[in-house]
Amino acid sequence: MIWKNETIRREFVLLGLSSDPKTQVALFIVFTSAYIIILIGNFLIIVLVLTDASLHTPMYFFLSNLSFLDLCFSTTTIPRTLKDLLSVNKVISYGECVAQMYIGQSLGLCECALLAVMAYDRYVAICFPLHYTIIISKMVCIRLAVVTWMSGFLLCVFLVTLTFNVDLCGHNKINHFLCEVTEVLSLGCRNIILVELFIFIACLIFLLIPVTFIVTSYVNIIVNILKIASSSGRRKAFSTCSSHMMVVTIAYGSAMASYMKPRSSSLPGNDKVLAVFYLIVAPMLNPMIYTLRNNDVKAAFLKLIKKIKVF
């Protein structure tokens, strides 16, 4: 048992999404295409927000933060997954597993907090339009962004420390394509209760409370939108808010389905699908949702194209 535990401490084996070579090649092609779309889409949003003066507003400041988060979030896992899809040996070192889990979980928590901040921004903009520039000032935006980023990375220090301090036993094979908290804990034989309690508290803080806040905010937003006299004003407000709600549904839905369920009901196949959804599908769709339904972003993109043609 001591020898096995020391082996686990040195390295893990990721079983991946499939053991069939043909399926692995197909997944490699799909994931590579998705990753390219993620890079181009999110990088484009960041460039547009930085270069176009009409997008220098709190809403687009937070949107550029979301795009940067999605870029980092996907880059934490997708390149390693692509490598494993074409490799026979899917061994991941202990240090790399810790780093992947810490960075990935931190960015995931940051994104949950950021989506709540974006909902607050829309709530103030629609419900208190006359006081919007005072309430959501430039300094307030910066402070909210800093708190959002710091909260996720600070909380995950405790989460990852507790996870890798459990007593691991048995095999060192992780039935996943990345180092997930729940999968590493499945290798544990003792001292798991404290980590599970911490995960529950983290889910409460970063999932349940923000979701409750977002739903409450959007109920008030919808009530106020219906009071807008101008039909074009109502359409614009609904378009902006519906885009955000689609992103919130994708991000929080997959995260809650993954982490807020009893371990006994956890099925490895389902967990992998959910992981693909929030690590690959969501970051790929977010730029499309915000650009295809947003006239300001489309106008900024057309201006950028014209500038490029001039040069």
Residue 189: enclosing H or E segment and its boundaries?
Answer: strand 188-190
77/65 Cα distance (integer angstroms)? 19
305/67 Cα distance (integer angstroms)? 20
17/271 Cα distance (integer angstroms)? 10
CB 86 within 8 A of CB 36: no
Largest CA distance in the chain: 72
Based on DSSP, count helices (H) and strands (E) in the chain, helices before strands: 13, 5
Which CATH number describes the domain made up of 2-310?
1.20.1070.10
Q: For each of the chain's 311 residues, which pLDDT tens digit applies? A: 343 444 445 789 888 888 888 999 999 999 999 999 999 999 999 999 999 988 999 999 999 999 999 999 999 989 999 999 988 888 899 889 999 999 998 998 899 899 999 989 989 988 898 899 999 999 999 999 999 999 889 988 888 888 888 777 767 888 888 888 888 887 877 667 778 788 888 888 888 888 888 888 888 888 887 776 667 666 766 776 777 788 888 888 877 777 776 655 556 567 788 888 888 888 888 888 877 767 788 888 888 888 776 65
Q: Which amino acid is at 24?
A: Q
Of 272, 227, 289, the C-alpha closest to 42 is 289
Angstrom CA distances, 11 to 8, 44, 173, 186, 216, stand at: 5, 38, 9, 15, 45
CB 213 within 8 A of CB 119: yes
User: Which tokens go with 159?
Assistant: 């989460």
Q: Can you give the pTM of this predicted structure?
A: 0.87
